[in-house]
Structure 1
Amino acid sequence: MSTLETSPTDVEDLTAGLWKEWKLSRRNTQMIGYKELTAVRGLLLDEPRLAAEAREALSKRIPPPKVAETSFEDGEFDAITSAARRMFRTAHLRITENARHLADWRAGAFARDCDEWLLGEALDHLARTGTVPCYRTNTYTRIIYRYIRVLGGERSEDTWQRLFLTRMEAVALGVLLLAEHGWNLSVINRLAVPRATPDAGPDGKRIYRVELEKHKRGAGRYFETRNLTDDGADTPGRLITQALEATVFARAAVHDLSPGTDRLMIWRTGKTLRADAPGDQTKGVGVGPFRFGIAGYAAKRWAMDAEFASSPFRRGRRTVNVVHRREPGQNSQDTHDSTYVLADPRAQAAAIPVIAAAAEAVVAKAHEVVFGAELRETADPADQPTATVDCHDYENSPFPSPDGGCGASFLLCLACPNARVHDAHHSRLAHLHQALDNLRSVMDPGQWQSDWGDAYARLEHLKSERLLGAAIWSQALDRVTDADRALINYLLNGDFDQ
């Protein structure tokens, strides 16, 4: 606030206007502006010397900023993961191929001093020390000449990259972990080396126990574990296996330089970090020529090199959890819904047809014509017979008349929950169903649907296997009496409408 024209010197000088002016000067972002405002406000509201006017201004709710980032479109996210997969696959194949050569050398597969043997000796030195064999003078360091030829040159691509990931390759691995599991960058950076469970079983499947750390959850809830199985290509644990293979030499070298270090995301740089460099061990930046994790600027550089608009991690995690997994990833269900799903424009657009279909289904269900009477085995002497069914509660009809009682037609009894149907009604209703079907052949279709369509649909429902079934219905038709025919004839002719 020292940049303001009238700068307060103490808490008593803070006015509502100064607070509002400073508030407007903050960036409207979730990670910077909003946290600054809420933190400073919480501090000042505890101060008893704060003026009443200023206290009232500070007490007003500060709404969190709207989320500006959106999930990636499918094509864009596929392009990002494809670029990461190509880069990491190249690195993984390079490291595993040189690892096989080193294993053969250590097994004595090559004649001494031949080119393959010299290359194996250089790789062994590289694996143990982090550098290929060199000689040093007071002014420079140079690779010993006999190894330059078998290595193919002095570039990093020919030397240390044979066994170690580069910074950009580590970013590519991080992007794949994000795409596969929905972890955010802070979780990926802190990943400990996954351990294969000892009870993997006789089938040889590797089951990794992955420990995840997320400090935003608060004390006591930092950690959780996941079990990921490598059962072949496209299984959750296959990428973990490849990550372990790609970092095996870097992890071994770091363990020698700093015993006890347990980090998965390790890569090598061309520069050596001094042992006395500030923050070397306290911040976990790295040790020797090795670095830990993925910095934000490295992710942006990777995206720039691959010709993408921005770092893939924040939007990528939103894409995986909202569009692909559709479930929380190290968040509560409430946070997942409110922060990720409801705020994402792509999720909102995708929800429109789903909500519309659900609304249409509700309307269709509301208009669905079904048989609503209750089926009974025998008649209840207390029920009152009607032209179609027995009525169990005439005075409490769901279709009341203005002067009390029931105002429904006898056909509407088929939809009434107070109606009771037993064996004596089957022949009469089966004959009504057949008569309505005959009427359809001689009437205008629209008029028939308007007059008789609902009653016919309810009888169809009664005839279905869910209620009576075809066998009982056929037997009922065989039992139709003259009384049934007369009653249905009166009903269809409107003689009961009075």
Structure 2
Amino acid sequence: MSGRGRKAVPPPPDHRVDPPIAQDGLVVTVTNKAGYRKELDFAELSVAGPMQRSLAASFAVRSRGWTSHSTARTCWTGLEMFAKFIAGLDSAPDDLDGLTVATLQSWRDLHIDTNSGKTTLRVVRGILQGDARLGGGPVAEELARRIPKPVPSKQSYGDSERDRVVLTAQRQFRSAWLRITENSRLLKRWRAGDLAEGSREWRIGRVLDHVARTGDVPRTTLPGGLQHVTHRKLLGGSGVEKTWGRLFLTHLELTALAVLLTDRFAWNLSVYDRIPAPTTSPSAGETASVTYQVQVEKHRTGWGRWFSTENVTDSGAGSPGRLISQAMEATAHARMLANDLKPGHNLFMAARAYHLEPKHTDLDRPAPVGPVSFGVSYSMAQYWARKNGLGGSPFGRTRRTTVTDEGRPLQHSQRTHESVYVIPDKRVQRASRDVFEAGAVEALEQARAVVFGGTIADKPDPAHQETPTADCEDEETSPWPAPGGGCGADFLLCLACSNAHVHPGHHPRLAHLHQQIVSLRSATDDRMFRERWKDPLLRLEDLRDDDKKVGPAAWDAALTRVSDSDRGVVQLLLKGDLAP
């Protein structure tokens, strides 16, 4: 079975796979998942012919598992840089077996200090290690040296930055959604025959029907070959929002929608190119809500784990699924037109391209269908940010912000969550400082609380009531009152009470109690010991170690005066046989 659950089918008998490298040994062809081919000519590299062929052979072997041209471009760019480095040497080797440790060390030193340089070192090393001549010896050891991982440079947004990005996207997408839903209702009424024939609304409805079927408004060709909108006066202008934009999102509006989806669900930018239109099912026990099944594609997770389904429910305004509902409405006409032109084509993130026949230049991204394009490219993200005065692409930082705010992995592993998103993020670090500070203060307060809380006396007071561990000044004002009056505290808790008075007559019993509690540590489960004996032990040690209370010398001397009565009382305390 395949990773998607389809039964494997053997290829036809005459099937053959063309080798990725041409007969001349210099041209390598990389075929992406969509079946598009990209040729890379190693004769363009500025190194000697033998090295060109060696690099091409290793590149061809490594490229067999690639499914995108972007991977090939990344490796090709690295090899171009390596070739320029080799060409700049005083004595450039003719082939890979001429590489020396010193040469590779110089190459490493040139790139090791930057994130992009580390990536370049890593991709070039993979190509070089594919050559059998570099499989052993000092050169192989140099190639095997650890290359540090790139240090994440993107940071999450601060609250004000995030608000600015999200509000910009909300204003843009909501305006488009209102425009499209309003015109969709008008088109529906026209198709249902609910409009008076010949009225202004009826004539606009007829234009909208043409837009829905073709992707554009009717246009008139002038004698010089120029075209203008036929019903410009009726539509109120010839701009995008007055013409085909009545039913379709623009690229900028689709990008704004993607920003909102990333802010809500922390999806990667690459997800939007291939995400299918969500399917729906009724929510259990609900009639007014709908649950969407959204299939998210994540290639970095590896074979067999590329696809996951997220259930998102629209239960009203403010619910996570409401944005999905609005996105479905805003992209409906683009998706229907694409499906009419190419049946079975139903990608979610669809917009109308600015040209009726857009060029398909990035072959890793889905090809347009007629005037409908799909997904959001990195260049679209950058253009959207520049257009709105927001700096660079917002997707990486928006995703990071959502992930760190959620505090859990979203479409990635726990290890990636901690090492890439949480630990390097300065906003998380600032927030953590407050948490650490609060924890330290709490620990200090607890440490201060687990000390002797009463009074040190020179002699007993006849007005005080004796307890097994101290004398009580007033049990009616106990911090732990009993339901029927008086004190309800355990006798071991007496040492924490402000009503407790300890005089020299208590020292032998308390010193012996301390000794017996310590002896329980090795015979008692750690968790049970901490729960039952940790606090009494700390209070006794506070009495023992503080010269202003009992002090070590008096404590040790008291151990020599322990009586049988003291031993009996301590034994009862340890067994829990003494009730307060």
TM-score by length of 1: 0.73
1:169 Cα offset (Å): 0.4
Shift of 1:278: 5.8
3-state SS of paired residue (2:467): helix
Structure with greater contact order relative to length (CA < 8 Å, sep ≥ 6): 1
Answer yes or no: is 1:253 the counterpart of 2:269.
no
- The letter for the 2-side match of 1:125 is H
Q: Quick one: distance in 2 between partners of 1:193 and 1:470?
A: 68
Equivalent AA in structure 1 for residue 408 of structure 2: E
In 1, the alpha carbon distance for the partners of 2:503 and 2:383 equals: 85
How far off is 1:297 after superposition?
1.1
Whole-Å Cα distance in 2 between the matches of residues 127 and 281 of structure 1?
Answer: 27
427, 442, 449: which one pairs with 1:361?
A: 442
Which residue is equivalent to 2:140?
55
1:431/1:24 Cα in 2 relative to 1: closer, same or farther (>3 Å)? closer
In structure 2, the residue matched to 1:64 is 149
1:445 is aligned to none
Q: Deviations over 1:431-484 (max 9, x none)?
A: 95543899xxxxxxxxxxxxxxxxxxxx95xx626xx666363899xxxxxxxx
Equivalence for 1:491: 505
Superposed, which structure 2 residues align to 1:106-121 within 5 Å? 106-121=191-206
Q: Does the CA contact (< 8 Å) of 2:180 and 2:246 recur in 1?
A: yes
Which secondary structure does the structure 2 equivalent of 1:164 belong to? coil
Q: How does 1:275-290 map to 2 (within 5 A)?
A: 283-290=365-372
Alpha-carbon distance between aligned partners in 2 of 1:339 and 1:320, rounded to the nearest angstrom: 14
C-alpha contact (below 8 Å) 2:353/2:373 kept by paired residues = yes
Q: Kindly report which structure 2 residues correspond to 1:192-211, keeping only aligned pairs within 5 A, or say none.
A: 192-199=276-283, 201-211=285-295
Q: Look up the SS of the partner of 2:108 in the other structure.
A: helix
Q: C-alpha displacement at 1:428, in angstroms?
A: 2.7
Is 1:429 aligned to residue 467 of structure 2? yes
Q: CA deviation at 1:232?
A: 1.1
Q: Secondary structure at the match of 2:178?
A: helix
Is 1:234 the counterpart of 2:318? The answer is: yes
**1:10 corresponds to which residue?**
95
CA RMSD of aligned residues (A): 3.5
Paired residues for 1:266-277 under 5 Å: 266-273=350-357
Matched, 1:244 2:328: yes
CA distance in 1: counterparts of 2:193 and 2:362, whole angstroms: 39
Which residues of structure 1 form unaligned runs of 5+? 373-408, 412-425, 439-458, 477-486
C-alpha distance in 1 between matches for 2:188 and 2:278: 23
Alpha-carbon distance in structure 2 between the residues aligned to 1:475 and 1:169: 67
| SS at 2:485 equivalent | helix
The residue correspondences of 1:385-464 to structure 2 (distance < 5 A) are 428-429=466-467, 432=470, 434-435=472-473, 464=480
C-alpha distance 28-235 of structure 1, shift in aligned 2 (>3 A): farther
Going from structure 1 to structure 2, the CA distance change for 1:250 and 1:17 (only over 3 Å counts) comes to same
Code of the residue aligned with 2:102 in structure 1: it is G
The within-5 A match list for 1:212-223 is 212-223=296-307
1:293 to 2:392 alignment: no
Question: How far is 1:255 from its partner?
Answer: 0.6
Q: Return closer, same or farther for 1:281/1:126 CA change in 2, 3 Å cut-off.
A: farther
Within 1, Cα distance between the matches of 2:254 and 2:131? Answer: 48
Partner residue of 2:211 out of 100, 106, 126: 126
CA contact 1:430–1:473 (8 Å) conserved in 2: no
How many residue pairs get aligned? The number is: 409
Which string of whole-angstrom CA distances, capped at 9 and with x for unpartnered residues, describes residues 329-388 of structure 1?
11111110111110112211221121122233233334432799xxxxxxxxxxxxxxxx
Select 1:304's aligned residue among 386, 403, 407.
Answer: 386
Q: CA deviation at 1:112?
A: 1.3
Q: 2:269 aligns with which of 185, 193, 207?
A: 185
| CA distance in structure 1 between the aligned counterparts of 2:480 and 2:101, rounded to whole angstroms | 74
Distance 1:37 1:281, change over 3 A: closer
From 153, 172, 177, the equivalent of 2:237 is 153
Inter-CA distance 361–435: structure 2 relative to 1 (3 Å threshold):
same
Contact 1:182–1:317 at 8 Å: present in 2 too?
yes
> How many percent of aligned residue pairs carry the same amino acid?
37
TM-aligned CA distance change 1:138 to 1:29, over 3 Å: farther
| Alpha-carbon distance in structure 2 between the residues aligned to 1:433 and 1:267 | 83
Amino acid at match of 1:319: T
Secondary structure of 1:209 counterpart: strand
Gaps of 5+ in 2: 1-81, 459-463, 491-500, 508-549, 562-580
